[in-house]
Structure 1
Amino acid sequence: MSGTVLLLAASPVGKGRLVDAASVLPVLAAVEPSVLSGAPTATVVELADPLEPQAVLTRLRAAAAAPGPLTVFVTGQLQLDRRQRLPHLALARTTPATVRYTALPWHWLREELRLRPDGTTTLVADLRADAESWQQVCERPLDAGPNVALYGRIAPPPVRRRVALPTYMKAVATILRSGHRPPPEQLHEQALARMAGEEGEENGPGLVLAAHRPAAQGAVGGAAPGFGPVPEQPPGPPAAPPAPGGPLPGTAVHRPKQVAASGAEPGAVVARRPVPDDGDTRAPVVAQRSAPGDPGAALVAQRPVPGDPHAAIAACVESGRHGDADALAARWEQAAVRAYGAASEDALHWGEVRADLAMFAGDAARSCRCWLTVAATRLAMGQPADAPAVEAAVDRAHHQWGRLRDPERARELGAVLAELRGRVPGRRRGALDHVRRQLRQLQTQG
């Protein structure tokens, strides 16, 4: 089976740069694709100092949707946005004041990879943190989701304001250039051993990320066990994704060109980890709560069908059986409504899942309607207009509304969207004005 590799190296241009991330790409690019991926053949996508977070997201989503094993190599620097204090991967245009709009939220990466089947995804990271983000990751280490094997390190800010080198990733690339790819955990240990003697590596490797259990080695203050809370959903509404294979600012695609997925917006819901089956056949639903502040802190339905419903739903989508996927999700939604009520997080989670399933099926109208319903329900429950889950629902409804081609349906849903946009303006300026302008144009079409 063919594999997929995503090489992402990003850091700000100018005095805000802490690490020369792109310097590792020539070394990685010299490795055979089959060695990078661990598969007989592979598609390799390379992003060197990209400019726009949406451009990175499009390539990330396409890579995550590809069948077969996926390996993501990420080199760059972490910064926190000033409003929500969430970690972001800084891009070429990122400054401390513009992190929220010009950097890639780490939770976007986590969200895109969570649909991947267990055992198929490896993330190798060499990250340099600024002072604020370093303090946070020492207290709440990054993770990449329960389905992803994460290896690498996060280093503290370099001393004397110099630009550091990505020595961990260069060590990984050097090992792989031998033509042999050891198992990820062995590759990780060999890279740490190789970089230990590198000149200029002060204070040890920093915060070492190994599989799903980050551990501090030489980190100032150490690291708390476990992972930080699942962060908020990404801002929006996103611009419509570019055409498949279309050029993106700051990106270069090699060996061969990767086809971009064009149907999904940031943070698509579809799959969540189920709770273990406790053998109790009486209760229709078992609750699993996520961390506070997670817009998807849903209570995951454990019945009425055996096994992981999200895995079964994802399998239906992958095989093109969109009707079967929605029918299965609908059964779980009905079970959640019966058990906890239509306004419960259980039911809302499954409403979000069905909205994403409609999107994957190409039914923008149904997806938009589902998101509008979720947003209205959350507001009716008393959730604030700037709550992440409320903003995300309206943003996604807006995105799907923009894909409608039926004027009558666009007018119908646009009126509801405009009312919600008046209450939930979102984080992107001019969202309400955009809806109103489009509605005026639709009125002229009769």
Structure 2
Amino acid sequence: MPGTVLLIAAAPLGRGRLVDAAGVLPVLAAVAPAVLSGTDTANVVELADPLEPQAVLTRLRAAAASPGPLTVYLTGQLHLDRRQHRLHLALARTTPATVRYTALPWHWVREELRLRSAVDTALVLDLHADAETWRHLAERGLDCGPNTAVYGRVAPPATRRAQAEPAYMKTVATLLRSGHRPPLAALHQQALARVPEETAGNLLLARTGGHAPGFPAAGVLPPPFADGAPAPGATPGPAPGAGPGPAPGAPTGFAPGAAPGFVRGATPLAAGTAYGSAPVAAVPGARAGGSAPADPHAAISAAVSGGRHGEADGLAARYEHDAVRAHGAGSEQALHWSEVRADLAMFAGDPVRSCRAWLAVAEARLGAGQAVDAPAVEAAVDRAHHQWSRIKDTARARELGPALAQLRLRVPGRRRGALESVQRQLGRLQAASP
């Protein structure tokens, strides 16, 4: 099966550029696609200094939908938005004042990769941070999601004003030009060994899967941040929730016939951590005696692959019921399975059921006290909106429209005009009523 490789080099144009991100692309482009992917053949997509977050999201979503192995080589710089203090990947038009609207929210990356398997999904990162973002990372680490292998580094602010070099990624590319791709863990260590001075004091990332926050090694952070760095192995606080998902009217992000690679791991979901930000592989209410599959996500994925959508939903419904009994209807364990069932309805081509499920998830999260701009809440409303836009049955769309409009009043989301879009379409549906 061919692999997919996504090469992203992004940084602001002008004075805000911390790193010459695009400078690494010629070196990566000189590597054979199959070597970049680690497969016999591969498709490579290159994004050099992209302008729009939605354009990057579209490419990332298409790559995540590919059924074969996926490797994303990402070079750029991270910033915090001033309003919500969330991590973003800066793009060509990003300035400190416009991060929220012109940069790519980092939790979108987590969200798009959340249904893939860690076995065949990898991020190779060479990122740079400004001072404020570096402090944030020193305290919380970099959350790349529960189901992605992650290797690379985040560099602290440069001590001089000159643009930094993506030395780590250039070294990775140089090693790959030999024509051989070793296991990524070995490739990572080889790259670090070649550029020890450039990576000293960096936040180093090396995880084969699972929740991979990545923290700087103790004692290597330059002042004044050394006091705030957690010790190796320290557990960070609850990470933010899942990203906003598909924008209204956007493609679903899953290729026709492609099966979801549901999250696999071995750690139970931490209380208070939103789905998509921690492993969710522990089975709520698992039955003794081997009557339940060891990994229900794998069994569900296999059922979807075989077109057995009823069987897949039945399995998810069992675990949702067990999670509700064990932890409560508003628990993250139960909401996880509700979200899985909403996605399964989408795979089955039932936008009515998927929309209704996402509406219920959004209401449950809001009812549990989550903020209207929490990523997991925005994600649920955006996905409900997207599925509603795909409903062809006028009566069903008219039935669900008012509930979506009420939610949009409370959760406008990041895409301007989303509420107005619902209201216009609902008006058309009501005007067409016999």
Q: Same fold (TM over 0.5)?
A: yes
- Contact in 1 for aligned 2:243/2:379 (Cα 8 Å): yes
RMSD in angstroms over aligned alpha carbons?
A: 2.9
Which position in structure 1 is the counterpart of 2:91? 91
- Alignment coverage as a number of residue pairs: 412
Which position in structure 2 is the counterpart of 1:139? 139
TM-score of the pair, normalised by structure 1: 0.83
1:27-38 correspondence runs (5 A): 27-38=27-38
Change (3 A) 1:239 1:196: same
Which position in structure 1 is the counterpart of 2:284? 301
- Contact in 2 for aligned 1:275/1:300 (Cα 8 Å): no
Deviation at 1:430, TM superposition (A): 2.8
Which position in structure 2 is the counterpart of 1:65? 65
Task: Find the residue that maps to 1:440 and give its secondary structure.
Answer: helix
Change (3 A) 1:114 1:15: same
Which ranges of structure 2 fall in alignment gaps of 5 or more residues?
A: none
Which position in structure 1 is the counterpart of 2:247? 238
- Contact in 2 for aligned 1:343/1:378 (Cα 8 Å): yes
Which position in structure 2 is the counterpart of 1:414? 401
TM-score of the pair, normalised by structure 2: 0.85
Deviation at 1:163, TM superposition (A): 1.7
d(CA) in 2 for partners of 1:261 and 1:365? 18
Counterpart check, 1:375 vs 2:371 = no
Task: Find the residue that maps to 1:128 and give its secondary structure.
Answer: strand
Counterpart check, 1:204 vs 2:200 = yes
Return the letter of the residue paired with 2:185. E
Deviation at 1:274, TM superposition (A): 5.8
Change (3 A) 1:69 1:381: closer
d(CA) in 2 for partners of 1:123 and 1:295? 16
- Contact in 1 for aligned 2:316/2:340 (Cα 8 Å): yes
Counterpart check, 1:195 vs 2:192 = no
d(CA) in 2 for partners of 1:101 and 1:270? 30
1:435 to 394, 416, 422: 422
Change (3 A) 1:44 1:318: farther
Deviation at 1:295, TM superposition (A): 8.0
Task: Find the residue that maps to 2:391 and give its secondary structure.
Answer: coil
d(CA) in 2 for partners of 1:196 and 1:427? 40
Which position in structure 2 is the counterpart of 1:257? none
- Contact in 2 for aligned 1:35/1:181 (Cα 8 Å): yes
Which ranges of structure 1 fall in alignment gaps of 5 or more residues?
A: 244-259, 264-268, 277-286
Return the letter of the residue paired with 1:108. W
Task: Find the residue that maps to 1:119 and give its secondary structure.
Answer: helix
1:109-258 correspondence runs (5 A): 109-196=109-196, 201=198, 204=200, 206-211=202-207, 214-216=215-217, 218-220=220-222, 221-222=225-226, 223-224=229-230, 225-226=232-233, 228=236, 229-235=238-244, 238-241=247-250
Residue range with higher mean Cα deviation, 391-400 or 420-429: 420-429
Deviation at 1:387, TM superposition (A): 4.2
Task: Find the residue that maps to 1:416 and give its secondary structure.
Answer: helix
d(CA) in 2 for partners of 1:185 and 1:369? 42
Task: Find the residue that maps to 1:43 and give its secondary structure.
Answer: strand
Return the letter of the residue paired with 1:301. P
2:338 to 351, 354, 366: 351
Deviation at 1:272, TM superposition (A): 4.2
Deviation at 1:429, TM superposition (A): 3.3
Note the alpha carbon deviations across 1:298-349, whole angstroms, 9 max, x for none.
8962425231112222232344332221111111122233344444443332
Deviation at 1:121, TM superposition (A): 2.5
Which position in structure 2 is the counterpart of 1:333? 320
Counterpart check, 1:289 vs 2:289 = no
d(CA) in 2 for partners of 1:22 and 1:49? 7
Task: Find the residue that maps to 1:71 and give its secondary structure.
Answer: strand
Task: Find the residue that maps to 1:438 and give its secondary structure.
Answer: helix
Counterpart check, 1:21 vs 2:21 = yes
Note the alpha carbon deviations across 1:273-316, whole angstroms, 9 max, x for none.
5656xxxxxxxxxx632555668788962425231112222232
- Contact in 2 for aligned 1:231/1:294 (Cα 8 Å): no
Deviation at 1:73, TM superposition (A): 0.6
